[in-house]
Structure 1
Amino acid sequence: MPPTSAALLLHHGRGAAARVLIAHMGGPFWARKDERAWSIPKGLVEPGEDVATAARREFAEELGVPAPDLPAVDLGTFRYGSGKVVHVLAVEVPAALVGSPDDPASPDLTTRAGISTAQVEWPPRSGRRVDVPEVDRAAWFGVEQARPLLVAGQQPALDALVAATA
């Protein structure tokens, strides 16, 4: 069975007019990339853990702030070409969150305490391992702006969000 990740997609607004919070993947490989270099905050579901708990835990680990304590809507499970499975939950937040002191968006998450890191080999095939933040920034985008930025396996979650909130 392929590994399953849980993701939490924050949004404000509804249908095609919704704005979503996505995060840019960290590390030197992604540093100069934008298209297909963003992701819904996500991570692996631990054995015995439910999807909602995993999604909220991973959101906090990747963005360095707790997920808003608001109801979540299940958008479904999405499979990457690699076989990886991501279960996406959506949380509607008030538009007033954007730009407030509690906004999880940040142009530089690397300065936020508590964000998770991953060890990668850099430069490739060098044998040298470096710690990099899993994500380095997070921002709000309209659904159609977010689509080309997201990794391909997560793009269908935007369609599910639009349908669920229309």
Structure 2
Amino acid sequence: MNGKIVSCGIVLLDPDGRVLLAHATGTNHWDIPKGQGEPGETEAQSARREMIEETGFDVAASRLVDLGRFAYRRDKDLHLFAARAKADELDLSRCVCVSLFPRREDGVMIPEMDAWRWTAPAEVDRYASRSLARLFDASLSLADLHRRL
């Protein structure tokens, strides 16, 4: 291992090739559902658990396409999977985040993600963190992924 943290996530695309982004509470950026694995989890199990915790969507392992590991930041790599959203996953009003963290100001436990959106590849730069936007721009074309799924 190179000592980097590995965060596992799912790039969920709708039928039009838009990517699911979740708003990180208390920040100005949106992200794909992702996070670090827990002891004993495979990358796919970690990605699925993070998706459930951050959206409420349970994406079956059989639906996942393993995209592999990507350089993300100096301290973190991403192991990503892709899936096409099913009809019952298109309504983002159904999303719920059960992963909580303490709010900086007062320690009150709040959801890690507080909003969700389908985002066209051309709009990702407007919403996503620089690291995620760079990954989709340089290493993982959403348009190519849309054609592959």
TM tier, shorter chain?
A: 0.7 to 0.9
Consecutive aligned runs of 4 or more in structure 1 exceeding 3 Å deviation: 157-161
Indicate if the aligned counterparts of 2:44 and 2:61 stay in contact, CA closer than 8 A.
Answer: no
CA deviation after TM superposition for structure 1 residue 70, in Å: 4.8
Deviations along 1:32-73, one digit per CA (max 9) or x if unpaired, are: x3xxx0000011112331111110001001113322565212
| Contact 2:21–2:116 under 8 Å retained in 1 | yes
Cα-to-partner distance string for 1:48-99 (whole Å, 9 max, x where unaligned) = 31111110001001113322565212223233334211111110134xx2xx
Say if 1:78 and 1:153, in contact at 8 Å, map to a contact too. no
SS in 1 for 2:127: coil
State the distance in 2 between where 1:80 and 1:64 align. Answer: 25
Secondary structure in 2 matching 1:49: coil
| Total equivalences in the alignment | 142
Q: TM-score, normalised by structure 2?
A: 0.79
Structure 1 length-normalised TM: 0.72
| 1:39 maps to 2:31 | yes
Higher fraction of helix: 2
Q: Which has the greater radius of gyration?
A: 1
Structure 1: tracts of 5 or more residues without a match: 123-127
Q: Which runs of 5+ in 2 are unaligned?
A: none
Distance (Å, rounded) in 2 between the aligned partners of 1:39 and 1:70: 23
AA aligned to 1:41 is P
Task: Provide the C-alpha distance between the structure 2 equivalents of 1:90 and 1:103, rounded to a whole number of angstroms.
Answer: 15
